[in-house]
Amino acid sequence: MSRFDDIKNLINGIEGDMTKFYSKGNKAAGTRARKGLQEVKKIAQDIRLEIQDIKNRS
């Protein structure tokens, strides 16, 4: 479950940048948000593969 915790922490960290980008138009915050979301995508894909491997072994 540590990877799931990593995703939750990343989302919580991105929240401030998302707010800055959407409400204030801060372009640098948008860049940071995109980078964080890319990391979330990568971790989520790793989790999906792990789940599929566990399902196939059973």
Give me the pLDDT at residue 1, please.
75
Residue partners of 24: CB distance under 8 A and separation at least 6: none
SS3 assignment, position 58: coil
Global pTM value? 0.84
Q: What is the pLDDT along the chain (58 residues), one digit of tens a residue?
A: 788 999 999 999 999 999 999 999 999 999 999 999 999 999 999 999 999 999 999 7
Q: Decide: residue 25, CB within 10 A, 0-12 exposed, 13-18 middle, 19+ buried.
A: exposed
Give me the pLDDT at residue 19, please.
97
